[in-house]
Structure 1
Amino acid sequence: MRYEELADLPCSITRPLVLLGDRWTLLVLKEAFAGVRRFNAFRSHLGIPRSRLQDRLTRLVEHGVLARRPAEDGEHPEYRLTRKGHDLYPVLMAIRDWGDSHMAPDGPPVHYRHTGCDGEAHVKLECDACGTRLSAHDVTPQAGPGLR
């Protein structure tokens, strides 16, 4: 099976991986959340080849994660996160939590602080019915309406 064909599988983990499953796409999103909006800024922050960056930005726009808009100064277009894009923030924060726990021997390189109280932001998996904190041992996948 080709990588692109994975998008047709009825799996809500596999489908997004077709779009998000390479390091450059996630790094572009990380920069977008940090306020980067212009092609050359993405390029200088990431050191990514032009063609690869253009490919990733085009795919993110095609999938509605980013919107390409004229800049207010009219000079160069900007790439802005859409609502769909903003919904990916917990995904990046979950990766960051895992990285801080397992790949940061000297401690977190960056603290993500809640602006309102200066507490640290973390992703938590919990039951939407009772609020219990969950791990993989507490969850049982069951067929949903989208499974053919």
Structure 2
Amino acid sequence: MRYEQLADLPCSITRPLVALGDRWTLLVLKEAFAGVRRFNAFQSNLGIPRSRLQDRLGRLVDHGILVRRPASDGEHPEYRLTRKGHDLYPVLMALKDWGDTHMAPGGPPVHYRHRDCPGEARVTLACDHCGEVMTAHDIRPEAGAGLVAAGAEDA
């Protein structure tokens, strides 16, 4: 199966990987959440080749995760996170939590503090009904409406 065909699979983990599935895209998003908006700043901060950055920014714009618009000073365009883009923040924080636990032997390199208290941002998987914290062992996947609809289309 070709990489582009993955977007057609009825899977809410696989489909986002088509838009987000490489390290540069996630690093561009990390910079965007840190307030970077200009092409040259992304390029300078990441050391990413210009053509690759152009491709990744274009993909994020095409998927509605970033919007490209004129800067207030009118010089160069800016890339801003959309609502869809902001909804990815917990994904990056989940990666950060995993990295802090499994790949930071000297401790977390950066603390993501709650603005108004000494607490730190953490991602927790919890049931939307009862609020109980869950792990993979507590979850049972079931067919949803999107899978049923995709199966009906294939028939």
- Report the TM-score, using the length of structure 2 for normalisation: 0.95
SS in 2 for 1:146: helix
Q: Name whichever of 36-45 and 111-120 sits farther off.
A: 111-120
2:100 alignment partner in structure 1: 100
1:57-136 aligned within 5 A: 57-136=57-136
The amino acid across from 2:118 in the alignment is D
Distance in 1, Cα, partners of 2:4 & 2:91: 21
Following TM superposition, by how much is the alpha carbon of 1:116 offset from its aligned partner in structure 2, in angstroms?
1.6
- Give 3-state SS (helix, strand or coil) of 1:17's partner: helix
Amino acid corresponding to residue 132 of structure 2 in structure 1:
T
Partner secondary structure for residue 130 of structure 1: coil
Q: What's the CA shift string for 1:4-50, capped at 9, x where partnerless?
A: 10000000000000110100000000000000000000000000000
Deviation digits for residues 89-129 of structure 1, max 9, x if unmatched? 00000000000000000000000000021210000000011
Check if 1:143 corresponds to 2:140. no
Letter matched to residue 119 of structure 1: G
- Deviation readout 1:36-80 (Å, 9 max, x if unpaired): 000000000000000000000000001100000100000000000
How far, CA to CA, are the matches of 2:117 and 2:69 in structure 1? Answer: 34
Report the Cα distance in structure 2 between the residues aligned to 1:99 and 1:144, rounded to whole angstroms. Answer: 31
* Identity fraction in percent: 80
Larger proportion of helix: 2
Which blocks of at least 5 consecutive residues in structure 1 are unaligned?
Answer: none
2:5 corresponds to: 5
Report what 2:153 is aligned to.
Answer: none
AA in 2 matched with 1:65: I
Aligned length: 148
How far apart in 1 are the matches of 2:122 and 2:69? 31
Alignment partner, residue 29 of structure 1:
29
CA RMSD of aligned residues (A): 0.4
Q: CA deviation at 1:138?
A: 0.1
TM norm structure 1 = 0.99
Aligned counterpart, 2:54: 54
